[in-house]
Amino acid sequence: MTILTIRTVGDPVLRTECEDITVFDEQLRTLVADMLETMYEVNGVGLAGPQVGISKRIFTYGNIAGCEGHVINPVLTVGEEDQEGGEGCLSVPGLSSETPRKNWAKVIGVDMYNQPVEIEGEGLFARMLQHETDHLYGKMFIDRVVGEDKKRIMRAIRAAQYNDVSAAVIGERAPQVSSSFGAGVTSKPAGSAFGFLGGAK
Active site residues: 132
Site stretch for Zn ion (CB under 5 A), options 82-90, 100-108, 115-123, 152-160: 82-90
Cα 5–chain centre separation = 13
The answer to whether 95 and 156 have CB atoms below 8 angstroms apart is yes
Question: Which CB atom, from 46 or from 121, has the smaller least distance to Zn ion?
Answer: 46
The answer to whether 91 and 54 have CB atoms below 8 angstroms apart is no
Instruction: Out of 166, 194, 196, 197, name the contact with Zn ion by CB under 5 A.
Output: 194
Question: Which CB atom, from 21 or from 92, has the smaller least distance to Zn ion?
Answer: 92
Residue 64 binds Zn ion (CB under 5 A): no
Number of residues this chain uses to bind Zn ion (CB under 5 A): 2
Checking DSSP bridges between strand 104-110 and strand 46-48, what pairing results, if any? unpaired
Residue 4 binds Zn ion (CB under 5 A): no
Question: Which CB atom, from 162 or from 194, has the smaller least distance to Zn ion?
Answer: 194
Q: Which residue is nearest to Zn ion (CB)?
A: 89
Query: From CA 78, how far away is CA 82, in angstroms rounded?
Result: 10
DSSP single-letter state for residue 194: T
Residue 89 binds Zn ion (CB under 5 A): yes
Nearest one of 83, 129, 85 to 102, comparing CA atoms: 83
Binding site for Zn ion (CB under 5 A): 89, 194
